[in-house]
Amino acid sequence: MSRGFTSQMARNIFYGGTLFFVLLFAALIFDTEQRIPKRSNAGELTPAVVRGKHIWETRNCIGCHTLLGEGAYFAPELGNVYKRRGPDFIKAWIKAQPTGAPGRRQMPNFQLDDKQLDDLVEFLRWTNGIDTEKWPPNVEG
Ligand code: HEC
């Protein structure tokens, strides 16, 4: 005769379920780890890219902009700005700040020289090469 739902059965479900999900999460972690190198393979981390990242960090661009969605929402996303505007526009834009255009948010002038601008563009080019699985969904994102 059935004794109904016993504490032994409950324990087995608990241990079995725990083991199942631990293994599932381990498999998912392993799968993600396998994919990361391919997705972040945005080209070689040249010294120029590294210098550009340093400029990006020390000038606190992220205090106004987002990069791949992370950062502040005061100014446009820049993860894809290389594709959207191209290197010449980016350099000319940074040199021409602030625009003083009425009613528009302003970006400061960082007094960067041509070499620093080239490095910054290299960093933005590298970032643009990261496989974000088509994010942002529109190029102005
Ligand atoms: C104080 C806030 C602020 C900081 C800091 C800042 N920006 Fe900006 N940036 C803006 C704003 C606001 C705009 C958009 C202005 C407009 O459209 O009139 C902009 C626009 C841009 C654009 C053009 C984007 C496009 O889609 O046309 C680029 C490129 C850019 N910024 C790069 C940088 C870089 C690189 C840094 C760091 C060195 C930086 N910004 C730091 C406020 C900032």
Question: What's the CATH number where 71 sits?
Answer: 1.10.760.10
Q: What ligand 1 atom has the least distance to the C-alpha of 105?
A: 12
What atom of ligand 1 comes closest to residue 74's alpha carbon?
Answer: 12
- The share of the chain scoring above pLDDT 90, in percent, equals 80
| Ligand 1 center to 125 CA (angstroms) | 16
Number of structural domains in the chain? 2
Q: Is position 32 within any domain?
A: yes
What's the pLDDT at 141?
A: 64
pLDDT tier at 137, thresholds 50, 70, 90: confident
Centroid of ligand 1 to alpha carbon of 74 (angstroms):
9
Distance between CA atoms of 86 and 124, rounded to whole angstroms? Answer: 10
Residue nearest to atom 10 of ligand 1 (CA): 107
- Enclosing domain of residue 89: 47-128
Q: Is pLDDT of 28 > 60?
A: yes
Answer whether residue 1 shows pLDDT above 60: no
Q: What is the pLDDT averaged over residues 133-141?
A: 81
Could you tell me if 52 and 18 lie in one domain?
A: no
